[in-house]
Amino acid sequence: MVKLAVQASRLNNLAEILSLLLILVFVLSLTYFVTRWVAVYQKGQMHNRNLQVVETLRITNNKFIQIVKAGEEYLVIAIGKDEVHLLTRLTKEQLEKLPANDTDRESVGNFKDVLEKMKEHLPKK
């Protein structure tokens, strides 16, 4: 009789653990899908046709310089903690194009060549 009660208790515990695992999987999957839905919704809300950040350069922890394309005009702005300042305006011809693919980057040199050049400039011991 006691043996039967112990087995029933074990089955009851196993059923509780499995039900808790199922609830956990349900909650995690629900969280995942709701987060994806919110991201798609927010992306649709932030549909910018006239503004685009072309490039960003971090100066310090909370100061940046950005090139922003506004319509057909390029603006260089400085962004601080509480302020934004227009530095200058650029034309399309003044922008330096980044390499489109990896073959263009090979002209810069591989890492080994760059490391060897840096070693030449280090003081000898």
14-72 per-position pLDDT tens digit: 999 999 999 999 999 999 999 999 988 887 776 667 888 889 999 999 999 999 998 88
pTM of the model as a whole: 0.44
Q: For residue 10, what are its two tokens?
A: 């074990």
Q: In which region does residue 53 sit, left (phi positive, over 0), alpha (psi from -120 to 50) or beta (all else)?
A: beta
CB 26 within 8 A of CB 34: no
Closest CA to 71 of 52, 89, 54: 52
pLDDT, one tens digit per residue, over 90-117 is 988 888 765 554 444 455 567 788 788 8
d(CA 112, CA 94): 32
Q: What is the CA radius of gyration of the chain?
A: 29
- Host H or E run for residue 23: helix 2-45
